[in-house]
Amino acid sequence: MKKPVLERPVLLDVQGITRLYGPAKGCEAIDFQLHAGEVLGIVGESGSGKSTLLRVLAGLEAPDAGRVVYRRSSGEPEAARSDVHEPDTARRGGTQALGGDPQANAEAELDLYAIGEARRRALLRLEWGLVHQNPRDGLRMGVSAGANIGERLMAQGQRHYGQLRATGQAWMGQVELDPGRIDDAPRTFSGGMQQRLQIARTLVTRPRLVFMDEPTGGLDVSVQARLLDMLRTLVRSLGLSVVLVTHDLAVARLLAHRLMVMRRGQVVETGLTDQILDDPQHEYTQLLVSSVLTP
Amino acid sequence: MNGYNFAYLDEQTKRMIRRALLKAVAIPGYQVPFGGREMPMPYGWGTGGVQVTASILGADDILKVIDQGADDTTNAVSIRHFFQRVAGVETTTATTAADVIQTRHRIPETPLRAGQILVFQVPIPEPLRFIEPSEQETRLMHALEEYGVMHVKLYEDIARYGHIATTYAYPVKVDERYVMDPSPIPKFDNPKLDGNPALMLFGAGREKRLYAIPPYTRVESLDFEDHPFEIQRWEHACALCGSDHSYLDEVITDDQGGRMFVCSDTDYCQSRRGEVA
Amino acid sequence: MHSMTNTRPRLTVNGLYKQFLLHGQGGLEIDVMRDLSLTLQAGECLVLAGRSGIGKSTLLKMLYGDYRIDQGRIRLHFDDGDLDLEALPTYAWHGLRRDVIGYVSQFLRVVPRVAAVDVVMEPLLARGADEAESRRRAETLLARLNLPERLWRLPPGTFSGGEQQRVNIARGFIGEHPLLLLDEPTASLDAANRDVVIALIGEAKARGTAMLGIFHDEDVRERVADRLLPLDGSLGGLSNASQTCRESLS
């Protein structure tokens, strides 16, 4: 029997990220690497800095210090992603475009805050995704479900209404929404349905890297389970790499391969999810784990 | 006229506006901010267009002003009178005779020629405003060519009405770069923007923005591959001149529901009738 | 000297130590394992023996990455080299569990509201297996374990202990991992289903699966064990330390 291939390329290399709003407010000196195909959970109580860290990682807020390096050459080969359309900008060869700059294509590493805002935004739109806790922050509430799902594709240059619609319906099916409701506005959907719509809208371009901020946070418990199962299935079938922020250890247990425990802006412990939850080492982690109510 | 500089605005202001116009011409479709002045008319009455016209008007220029295609509507008449008083320029209703044409909501049917300038009055210059309220964000979206949301709007039209229901202020892409609101002209006029020999200037008074389409610039109306851009068509010909290729207005003629379709461009209609007669 | 290829163990454990430090108990230190060593061959079922409640699960949990390894060495042996688990980077465990080490725990821990058959087939899907084929194999296993067909499409959350246990066993065996850890898989089963599990273990041995198990039922133990590993020496005298530790944490 041969040794299994366990090496996974590093997708995201986070080096010394600090973003402080005040003493112990924000996050400080965070280092970690996310490997392709991994689901990393960041857990901690509110105010632990996990959401600030996520905002920095997801390209929404520049850090005071440190680097977020995205290694583009890792993950599955580019050929497997040929279904993703090039953006308008790439076709024009604009220097600010992610795909249009031959030098950028040749680069294996992208330093998220060293590249310009144009390339950063293109990266977020093309290769990354962000699922907000509140679906209203991630959806356009005024336009139909189909337009919400199609937006990223249209931003990438897809110009065929029939195909956009077919893709929209297929994704609605994938996230267990009735494809017959493709023309309904998200505001007519329940919270759980909105969240599933947001996930479809984010994943439609098959991003390599997805950030999720308390994706089950605002939902009823009965709705959470279904969403969790769906997320697990999507992570597996799309081969996603995920950074997941949650305060819910049960959610972390079911979704994350690996956990990072944060407290007062710092990482107090990292490890395999089961290790963190079953064999916590740090005093704070032990307290956190032992404080969970189990029915 | 005593008490006013030629064409109402002082020369400093005109120079400022001309500099902004030069920039607008240099970057087709890009919205240039300018220090808009108070004009002796309310916003919504064409203060943006009036300032542009005032800045480019020469003493020898012949001016035409139209509103919805007509030379004789209130807005057109008052602006024409304004420039007659403050600039003393010659005015005309004939498209072919005019050097400068200020317009609200139409492009004349008679093809424009090189050397003519068409000045549009613009209420809302920002085509992205419907989806993004922040000016900072829309400027960034223009800078980065993030125009996916424009198609979201068209998608929504088709989803709701089965076709692209936007009939006026139909968004265009200028010189393959900037998405631009062509002002509330009917989409019927959009093809006239493309490769037009005349210079087209756009002035938004309330929002203090100028933009331009230089002569012979490529202007594309946004659409989908399977729902290509189309202009309005009528089953009728003009009841007055018999034109079957101009933009028609529906006119109610009596209290019994009588109505007819006539050219919205009054000069075009009249000159056709003159030819026929 | 004979060729070693066939007698080379699949797993070697050397000098394993485990201690729990409980910050909430004033820094209480509990030694739960000291100097444990073992070897396990392919096709062998090694049964952990020792007094009830001395924390035999601790060893399985250390092998599966649930518990950290304080000191000692756990090595997996392959044709082309060894893998040291105590040195394995965290990200690699995911793949290791998917492809190499399987675990049948006493309790089922799954996403609520997921159908039993989907729970069972997940380890195959995780490897990218065909869904229809995975479903067929899951149903075959559930049928063999006498889980009534009407339950297959239901989430196991509401099942009886024995029914849940059978879902768990099916999920553990379906992946045919080369190393399988069995933590009292027959605890809540009736005689007929115990026989099915014993048969499954027999078939796994025939495939060359190396198994490490805990079986309280003496009859089962005798029927599946190729060897017994007495643990009273390395775990003994520690009372119920591991269990105490877990309980004090939760």
pLDDT digits (tens, 9 = 90+) for B147-159: 989 999 999 999 9
In 10 A of CB A15, how many CB atoms? 16
Average pLDDT in the C77-98 region? 94
Q: Which tokens is C229 given?
A: 């590993």
What is the C-alpha separation between B62 and B81, in angstroms, rounded?
A: 13
Catalytic residue, chosen from B29, B46, B49, B205, is B29
**Cβ within 8 Å of C, A 12-71:** 33, 35, 37-38
Average pLDDT in the A143-163 region? 95
Interface probe for A, chosen from C94, C109, C125, C181 (most Cβ of A below 10 Å), is: C94
Residue A92: band (very low, low, confident or very high) from pLDDT cuts 50, 70, 90: very low
SS3 state at A270: strand
SS3 state at B41: coil
Give residue B162's domain range: 128-168
Is B115 a catalytic site residue? no
Distance from CA of C22 to the nearest CA of A (A): 8
- CATH number, domain of B175, equals 3.40.50.11310
DSSP string, B165-230: ---BS--EEETTTEEE---S-BGGGHHHHTT-SSEEEEEETTTTEEEEE-TT--EEE--BTTB---
DSSP single-letter state for residue B134: -
Q: How far is CA B192 from the centre of its chain?
A: 11
What is the C-alpha separation between A108 and C213, in angstroms, rounded?
A: 46
Q: Which residues of C touch A229 (CB under 8 A)?
A: 111, 113-114
Any CB–CB contact under 8 A between A291 and chain C?
Answer: no
Residues A131, A132, A138, A139, Cα dihedral to 10°: 90
DSSP single-letter state for residue B97: G
What is the C-alpha separation between B203 and B52, in angstroms, rounded?
A: 6
Query: What's the mean per-residue pLDDT of chain B?
Result: 94
- At residue B276, the pLDDT reads 56
What is the C-alpha separation between C199 and C195, in angstroms, rounded?
A: 6
What is the C-alpha separation between B146 and A90, in angstroms, rounded?
A: 12
In 10 A of CB B126, how many CB atoms? 21
Q: How far is CA C31 from the centre of its chain?
A: 22
CA atoms C192, C196, C201, C206: torsion sign: positive
Note whether B121 and B135 are same-domain residues.
no
Name the residue among A33, A257, A287 with its Cβ closest to that of C24.
A287
- At residue C94, the pLDDT reads 93
- At residue C5, the pLDDT reads 46
Per-residue pLDDT for A187 more than 70?
Answer: yes
Q: Which residues of C touch A8 (CB under 8 A)?
A: 91-92, 95
What are the angstrom distances between the C-alpha of B180 and each of A36, B123, B135, B158? Answer: 41, 13, 15, 21
Give the residue, A40 or A91, on which the prediction is more confident. A40
Nearest-Å Rg of the Cα atoms of chain C is 18
Distance from CA of A161 to the nearest CA of C (A): 31
pLDDT single digits (tens) A94-126: 333 444 444 444 468 899 999 989 999 989 988
Residue B70: band (very low, low, confident or very high) from pLDDT cuts 50, 70, 90: very high
Instruction: Give the position of tokens 């297996």.
Output: C129
Is B263 a catalytic site residue? yes
pTM of the complete model: 0.87
Note whether B177 and B74 are same-domain residues.
yes
SS3 state at A76: coil
Residue A280: band (very low, low, confident or very high) from pLDDT cuts 50, 70, 90: very high
Note whether B192 and B241 are same-domain residues.
no
Average pLDDT in the B103-112 region? 97
**Are the C-beta atoms of C94 and A38 separated by less than 8 Å?**
yes
Q: Which of B187, B14, B225 is nearest to B105 (CA)?
A: B187
Note whether B140 and B272 are same-domain residues.
no
Is B37 within the bounds of a domain? yes
- Across C17-55, b (16+ Cβ under 10 Å) vs e yields bbebebbeeeeeebebbbebebbbbbbbbbbbbbeeebb
Is B224 within the bounds of a domain? no
Note whether B161 and B85 are same-domain residues.
no
Per-residue pLDDT for B111 more than 70?
Answer: yes
Residue B43: band (very low, low, confident or very high) from pLDDT cuts 50, 70, 90: confident
DSSP string, C118-168: HHHHHHHHTTT--HHHHHHHHHHHHHHTT--GGGTTS-GGGS-HHHHHHHH
Per-residue pLDDT for A138 more than 70?
Answer: yes
Residue A224: band (very low, low, confident or very high) from pLDDT cuts 50, 70, 90: confident
The H-assigned helical ranges of chain A are 50-57, 88-92, 102-106, 117-126, 135-138, 145-155, 161-174, 191-203, 221-238, 249-255, 273-278, 283-290
What is the C-alpha separation between B154 and B179, in angstroms, rounded?
A: 14
In 10 A of CB C187, how many CB atoms? 16
Residue C193: band (very low, low, confident or very high) from pLDDT cuts 50, 70, 90: very high
Q: What angle do CA C95, C97, C101 make, to 5 degrees?
A: 130
- At residue B4, the pLDDT reads 83
Q: Which tokens is C122 given?
A: 């997940």
In 10 A of CB C148, how many CB atoms? 10
Q: What angle do CA B159, B165, B171 make, to 5 degrees?
A: 110
Q: Which residues of A touch B156 (CB under 8 A)?
A: 143-144, 147
Distance from CA of A154 to the nearest CA of C (A): 30
- At residue B150, the pLDDT reads 93
- At residue B277, the pLDDT reads 52
Closest residue in chain A to residue B145, using alpha carbons only: A89
- At residue B189, the pLDDT reads 97
Proportion of chain C above pLDDT 70, given as a percent: 91
pLDDT single digits (tens) A190-220: 999 999 999 999 999 999 999 999 998 878 8
What is the C-alpha separation between A253 and B231, in angstroms, rounded?
A: 57
Is B243 within the bounds of a domain? yes
Contact flag C67-A275 (C-beta cutoff 8 Å) = yes
Note whether B153 and B254 are same-domain residues.
no
Name the residue among A88, A118, A154 with its Cβ closest to that of B155.
A154
Is B71 within the bounds of a domain? yes
Note whether B45 and B176 are same-domain residues.
yes
**Are the C-beta atoms of B48 and B204 separated by less than 8 Å?**
yes
Any CB–CB contact under 8 A between A146 and chain B?
Answer: yes
Is B197 within the bounds of a domain? yes
Is B46 a catalytic site residue? no
Note whether B48 and B160 are same-domain residues.
no
Per-residue pLDDT for A89 more than 60?
Answer: no
Please tell me which chains touch B, using 3 or more CB pairs under 8 Å as the contact test. A
Is B35 within the bounds of a domain? yes
Per-residue pLDDT for A132 more than 70?
Answer: yes
DSSP string, A137-203: HHS-TTS-HHHHHHHHHHHTT---HHHHHHHHHHHHHHTT--GGGTTS-GGGS-HHHHHHHHHHHHH
Is B245 within the bounds of a domain? yes
Residue B274: band (very low, low, confident or very high) from pLDDT cuts 50, 70, 90: confident
Distance from CA of A144 to the nearest CA of B (A): 7
DSSP string, chain C: ----TTTS-SEEEEEEEEEEEEGGGTSEEEEEEEEEEEEE-TT-EEEEE-STTS-HHHHHHHHTTSS---EEEEEEEETTEEEEGGG--HHHHHHHHHHTEEEE-SS----TT--HHHHHHHHHHTTT--HHHHHHHHHHHHHHTT--GGGTTS-GGGS-HHHHHHHHHHHHHHT--SEEEEESTTTT--HHHHHHHHHHHHHHHHHT-EEEEE---HHHHHHH-SEEEE-TTTTTTSTTHHHHHHHHH-
Per-residue pLDDT for C245 more than 70?
Answer: no
What is the C-alpha separation between A157 and A125, in angstroms, rounded?
A: 12
What is the C-alpha separation between A17 and B247, in angstroms, rounded?
A: 61
Number of domains in chain B: 3
Is B29 a catalytic site residue? yes
pLDDT single digits (tens) B217-253: 999 999 999 999 999 999 989 999 999 999 999 999 8
Q: Which of B18, B29, B33, B49 is nearest to B217 (CA)?
A: B29
Note whether B78 and B185 are same-domain residues.
yes
Note whether B148 and B193 are same-domain residues.
no
Q: Counting one residue from A and one from C, how many pairs have CB atoms under 8 Å apart?
A: 96
Instruction: Give the position of tokens 């956009």.
Output: A164
Catalytic residue, chosen from B69, B203, B205, B263, is B263
Q: What angle do CA C210, C212, C214 make, to 5 degrees?
A: 150
Is B1 within the bounds of a domain? no
pLDDT single digits (tens) C138-173: 999 999 999 999 999 999 988 998 999 999 999 999
Note whether B138 and B116 are same-domain residues.
no
Q: How far is CA A187 from the centre of its chain?
A: 23
Average pLDDT in the B166-180 region? 96
Proportion of chain A above pLDDT 70, given as a percent: 87
Note whether B70 and B182 are same-domain residues.
yes
Q: Which residues of C touch A287 (CB under 8 A)?
A: 23-24
**Are the C-beta atoms of A289 and A261 separated by less than 8 Å?**
no
What is the C-alpha separation between C165 and C186, in angstroms, rounded?
A: 8
Contact flag A147-B155 (C-beta cutoff 8 Å) = yes
